[in-house]
Amino acid sequence: MAADPLRHDPAAAPDDALPAGHRHHRLAAGLHADLRDDQRRAGRPDHDDGLLHVPLGVQVLRHGLCQHAGVRTVRDAPRLHRAAAAPVPGRRHPVTDLTEEQRVPALAPPPPDRRTKRRRPGGSRGEGYVSLRAKLATYLILAPVAILFVAPFAWLISASFQPISTIFANPPTWLPDDPTLDGYKGFLNVGELTEAQQAQGHGDWRWFANSAFVAISITVLQTFFNALCAYAFAKRRFPGRNVIFVLFLATMMVPGQVTLIPNYIIIQNIPFFGGNDWLGNGGHGWLDSYWGLIVPGVVSAFGIFLLRQYMLSIPDELLDAARVDGAGELRIFWNVVLPLCTPALAANAIFTFQGAWEDFFWPLIIMSDPEKLTAPVGLALFVVQNRTDWNLLFAGSVIATLPMILVFVIFQRHFVRGIAVTGIKG
């Protein structure tokens, strides 16, 4: 056999570029691009074209579609490839007629965003325009409302730094020309007041100390006892649970003025306090004492309802797991339930502190000692029949408002979250 000359092209591959019948079923195993027939009677190559083959097991795809001429040292004939792959006029080709999207299936698109309905065609520029308009409309609506609520408080602060002669000037003075601290000094220092004012107990800083002590005590005790009752109603099973809970809710429909006199009689006749005997006779009980201010507020039906609704969202599986580990009910309540109820506890604490700090009617009825008055009752003493010290009254009002603002700023994140989450619990 003569040797081939150097640098010559190798001979063409002996096999066909594509095997006979390549137009029929030359797809990957178990994959058919089109199940429609060739609009004629099915021949042997297409006898199962309209049927779906259900494999008995998971088929493993073979590497490649051709099994003839494998890796060889001879070259292929490019003209054979072009001729074999050329489509037949009027007939669909199962592979070459597929589009790129059909060959490589795309992933399922993500669910449409609700905000896309408001988007305009035009890309990010249009989206930014719509977002800017929405923000501008929100600000235009909320700005007048904010001014409506903030303006009186801003004028109160301004008036507290003005002398009494310019407080009610027309037009009102928002920025005092000559600010003074006389109102704050007169309110916090009894020695700078007149004898008549001192006799009435005006300007005693202890009013705020009394209010702080009473409000903090009521907040701590009520939050704890409300949480205990809420835990019992939400996570414990006992006879009459729902009936008792409905009775608790019914008490919120009764105005406080209706229960004012019965509560006063109970406080006055508490046994063994204030000179009373074991029957509650002979003394004044808890009248004119801190006990009379604190004890009636240690439980709140609204607080129980608020915390119960939140505790219903805690999975019972957590409590069951703690019981399996040997934890008792009090430990489950303290170490498992309470840490999960931080937002609701914060909301309950803010509501309780606000109500106790601003309470006026109950302290006015049971308290008579000027040194034990709370801030709201003390501020009311500035409004007398013949004269009202407006600068002292406004200064005291500003001081009385600051604790509520401070408490809300500190706990606002938990407060908003607790209200939002509790409102959707069933």
- Give yes or no: residues 229 and 329 share one domain: yes
Cα separation, 169 vs 262, in Å, equals 47
In a domain, 90, yes or no: no
- Give yes or no: residues 217 and 293 share one domain: yes
Asked if the model's pLDDT at residue 201 lies above 50, the reply is no
- State whether residue 166 is helix, strand or coil: coil
Query: How high is the mean pLDDT of the chain?
Result: 76
- Give yes or no: residues 154 and 273 share one domain: no
Last residue of a domain, one of 136, 152, 180: 180
Question: pLDDT tens, 112-137?
Answer: 555 444 444 444 555 666 688 888 88
- 174 or 123: whose pLDDT is higher? 174
Phi-psi sector, 274: left (phi>0), alpha (psi -120 to 50), beta: left
Amino acid identity, position 37: D
Cα separation, 215 vs 199, in Å, equals 26
CB 336 within 8 A of CB 319: yes
CB 207 within 8 A of CB 374: yes
**DSSP tag of 13:** P
User: What is the structure's pLDDT at 41?
Assistant: 57
Last residue of a domain, one of 130, 159, 180: 180
Percent of the chain with pLDDT over 70: 62
Which H/E stretch holds residue 341? Answer: none
| Helix, strand, coil in percent for the chain, rounding step 5 | 55, 0, 45
In a domain, 36, yes or no: no
Residue with tokens 């909320």: 142
Asked if the model's pLDDT at residue 353 lies above 70, the reply is yes
How far is residue 421 from each of residues 104, 248, 306, 317, 417, measured CA to CA in Å? 45, 22, 10, 20, 6
Domain containing residue 168:
117-180
Crossing angle for the helix pair 301-311 and 241-250, nearest 10 degrees? 130
- Give yes or no: residues 221 and 145 share one domain: no
- Overall residue count recorded for the chain in this entry: 426
In a domain, 18, yes or no: no
**CA dihedral for 394, 398, 401, 403, sign (positive or negative):** negative
How does DSSP assign 305-370, residue by residue? HHHHHHHTTS-HHHHHHHHHTT--HHHHIIIIIHHHTHHHHHHHHHHHHHHHHH--HHHHHH---G
pTM above 0.85, yes or no: no
Asked if the model's pLDDT at residue 178 lies above 80, the reply is yes
Residues 6+ apart with CB under 8 A from 333: 227, 228, 231
Average the pLDDT over 34-42 and give the result.
Answer: 56
- Give yes or no: residues 233 and 334 share one domain: yes
In a domain, 85, yes or no: no
Residues paired with 75 in a beta bridge = 12
Question: pLDDT tens, 182-197?
Answer: 888 877 764 445 554 4
Asked if the model's pLDDT at residue 40 lies above 50, the reply is yes
Average the pLDDT over 304-313 and give the result.
Answer: 93
Residues paired with 388 in a beta bridge = 383
Q: Report the chain's terminal Cα–Cα distance, integer Å.
A: 95
In a domain, 334, yes or no: yes
- Give yes or no: residues 202 and 282 share one domain: yes
Take residue 36 and report the two structure tokens written for it.
């429609």
Last residue of a domain, one of 125, 152, 180: 180
Q: What total of structural domains would you count in the chain? A: 2
Residues 6+ apart with CB under 8 A from 392: 183, 186, 187, 202, 203, 382
User: What is the structure's pLDDT at 53?
Assistant: 62
**CA dihedral for 165, 169, 175, 177, sign (positive or negative):** negative
CATH number of the domain bearing residue 196: 1.10.3720.10
In a domain, 207, yes or no: yes
Asked if the model's pLDDT at residue 90 lies above 60, the reply is no
- Give yes or no: residues 135 and 156 share one domain: yes
How does DSSP assign 98-162, residue by residue? --HHHHSPPPPPPPPPGGGGGPPSSTHHHHHHHHHHHHHHHHHHHHHHHHHHHHHHHHHHHHHTS
User: What is the structure's pLDDT at 408?
Assistant: 82
